[in-house]
Amino acid sequence: MRLSPFSILFLVAAAAGLFFAGFSTHDFVQHLDRQVHDIHCSFVPGITDAQADPESGCALTLMSPYSSVMRKAVWGGIPVSLAAMSVFAYLLFRGLDLVVNQRLRSQTATVYLVAATGLPVLTSLGMGYLSLVELDAACKLCIGIYASSALAMVGAIGMWRQSMGPLDDGENPAEETVEPIAHHGMAFAQGVGFVAVPVALYLALMPSYDKYVGTCGVLEKPDDKYGIMVPLDNNPGGKAAIEVFDPLCPACKGFENRLFASGLADQVNRKAVLFPLDDTCNWMVKGQLHPGACAVSEAILCAAEKGNGKAVIEWGFEHQEEVRAAAKSSPTGAAELLKGAFPDLASCIGSKVIQNKLNRSLRWAVDNNLPVLTPQFYVENQRMCDEDTDLGLDFALSRMLSGKKEAP
């Protein structure tokens, strides 16, 4: 049987899926050195350079809680893209096996191929939903994987239908069309091996990260003498935690999402210290890294006096881009936007009293010798390392809460 367009489509789609999943896995794995790295976010990775934009769809997806599994047991977890890479490699192997061994007329072999493509298709549907609905992010590498999955299934279905069709000129009529089911039990076992072996090697080659937990310093003067901290949780039984953040910081929003996705949020009782990266109020930064952050911080402190600071924090996270755009268009744009959203805070936002309170919040950061960055997270005054606030959050926080550390 001649190589059909469907066979070619299947092989090309499997190779493309392996290509996209491979780049995604590479971007994930390079972060295992606990440093910040650029991330590929292109339909032609390898030709287009990786980017450092932390707000790109690929960066948001990679740093999200959905990019890996087993995060509490393994630093960063096991990347989903590693399994995807293994599955596409397996599909490519099975497709080449049918072509090289002239088994394209085997109905059971091609039906098996259709069933095998169902795994990446179903996974793509689930991950696509999480990416677009939960994260509101469009990851080009992910889209490449989704498209490859769909095209591989189309190719497999076409191959199956052709296996039942009339013979081509010169084709042997006695060619086998049905194979024993046991052959496909072995094929399934091969598929399990294609996934299990890379995962086992990944786990075996990972260094120990326990030694980093709890080694990044402590708060020197944690007391809230001026009442500048904003309650975030109502978990009296949880361990005391302080979160230093900027309400317009995308990384802070991502940290919040990862914390709740980890299932550990109810084990901490958090208070927030506002640290806007905006030189309108913060003399420690040059320029407006997050324009409008001072106005949102003032609104949070105003609302906190009424016992509702978290509502403004959630609103700020939800409207980060809108507030930043308003602040860029007008010096009072962010404040006016906030006053429209929270009329009961209008007289408080921008007042001398609340500006002084925000200044004391910044002074608290100075007194504790904090670096100029957000987010920062402290559990019982012990600082979580910056490298653990994204991919390593589940791993590090679970150990900080349990007191588990590697013996020196």
Domain limit, last residue, from 189, 205, 221: 205
Measuring CA to CA, which residue among 56, 55, 58, 70 is closest to residue 20? 58
**Rounded Cα gap, residues 338 and 318, in angstroms:** 13
DSSP 130: I
Sheet holding 230-231, edge to edge: 230-231, 268-274, 239-245, 376-379, 382-383
Exposed, middle or buried: residue 93 (CB in 10 Å: 0-12, 13-18, 19+)? middle
pLDDT, mean of residues 173-195: 73
Structural domain span for residue 284: 230-402
201 and 234 in one domain?
no
Per-residue buried b or exposed e for 136-170, using 16+ beta carbons within 10 Å of the residue's own CB:
ebbbbbbbbbbbbbbbbbbbbbbbbebbeeeeeee
Dihedrals φ, ψ of 274, to 5°? -80, 135
242 and 101 in one domain?
no
154 and 297 in one domain?
no
116 and 265 in one domain?
no
pLDDT band at residue 45 using 50, 70 and 90 as cut-offs: confident
Q: Write out the two tokens for 166.
A: 């009339």
| Statement: residue 313 has pLDDT above 70 | yes
pLDDT band at residue 67 using 50, 70 and 90 as cut-offs: very high
What integer pLDDT is reported at residue 3 of this predicted model?
A: 78
240 and 175 in one domain?
no
Structural contact between residues 171 and 163, judged by C-beta atoms closer than 8 angstroms: no
281 and 333 in one domain?
yes
| Statement: residue 214 has pLDDT above 70 | yes
Measuring CA to CA, which residue among 111, 123, 113, 40 is closest to residue 85? 123
Alpha-carbon Rg for the chain in angstroms: 27
pLDDT band at residue 157 using 50, 70 and 90 as cut-offs: very high
Residue 200: which CATH number? 1.20.1440.130
289 and 187 in one domain?
no
Measuring CA to CA, which residue among 74, 73, 87, 187 is closest to residue 127? 87
Listed in sequence order, the DSSP H helices in 39-180 are 57-62, 80-100, 107-129, 140-163
Domain limit, last residue, from 205, 239, 268: 205
What integer pLDDT is reported at residue 408 of this predicted model?
A: 38
Q: Indicate the SS3 state at residue 177.
A: coil
What integer pLDDT is reported at residue 38 of this predicted model?
A: 84
272 and 388 in one domain?
yes
pLDDT, mean of residues 365-393: 94
User: Is 219 within the bounds of a domain?
Assistant: no
The partner residues of 377 in beta bridges, in order of sequence, read 243
User: Is 220 within the bounds of a domain?
Assistant: no
User: Is 157 within the bounds of a domain?
Assistant: yes
Residue 281: which CATH number? 3.40.30.10
What is the DSSP track for 274-286? E---BTTT-TTSS
Residues 367-376 pLDDT 10s: 999 999 999 9
> How distant, in Å, are the alpha carbons of 126, 129, 141, 330 from that of 133?
11, 6, 17, 31
DSSP 34: S
**Rounded Cα gap, residues 395 and 68, in angstroms:** 12
118 and 48 in one domain?
yes
Q: Please work out, in degrees rounded to the nearest 5, the angle formed at the alpha carbon of residue 87 by the alpha carbons of 45 and 72.
A: 85
User: Is 99 within the bounds of a domain?
Assistant: yes
| Statement: residue 97 has pLDDT above 60 | yes
Pairing of strands 78-79, 68-69: antiparallel
User: Is 211 within the bounds of a domain?
Assistant: no
When divided into structural domains, the chain yields a total of 2
Least confident of 29-43, 226-240, 354-368: 29-43
Least confident of 29-33, 65-69, 172-176, 350-354: 172-176
**Rounded Cα gap, residues 250 and 174, in angstroms:** 64
Measuring CA to CA, which residue among 334, 329, 291 is closest to residue 315? 334
DSSP 64: S
The partner residues of 241 in beta bridges, in order of sequence, read 270, 379
Q: Is the dihedral of CA 166, 172, 174, 180 positive or negative?
A: negative
User: Is 223 within the bounds of a domain?
Assistant: no
CA dihedral 274, 277, 278, 282 (to 10 degrees): 60
Q: Indicate the SS3 state at residue 377.
A: strand
Confidence (pTM): 0.84
Domain limit, last residue, from 205, 221, 254: 205
pLDDT band at residue 173 using 50, 70 and 90 as cut-offs: very low
What is the DSSP track for 324-341? HHHHHH-TTHHHHHHHHH
103 and 53 in one domain?
yes
Measuring CA to CA, which residue among 122, 147, 144, 126 is closest to residue 135? 126
Residues 193-209 pLDDT 10s: 999 999 999 999 998 89
User: Is 221 within the bounds of a domain?
Assistant: no
Measuring CA to CA, which residue among 48, 6, 253 is closest to residue 141? 48
**Rounded Cα gap, residues 283 and 272, in angstroms:** 20
133 and 258 in one domain?
no
Tokens 């094929």, located at residue: 187
Whole-number average pLDDT of the chain: 90
User: Is 407 within the bounds of a domain?
Assistant: no
What integer pLDDT is reported at residue 170 of this predicted model?
A: 55
70 and 12 in one domain?
yes
What integer pLDDT is reported at residue 174 of this predicted model?
A: 42
What integer pLDDT is reported at residue 345 of this predicted model?
A: 95
Q: Rounded to a whole number, what is the distance in angstroms from the first to the last CA of the chain?
A: 65
What integer pLDDT is reported at residue 405 of this predicted model?
A: 52
| Statement: residue 120 has pLDDT above 80 | yes
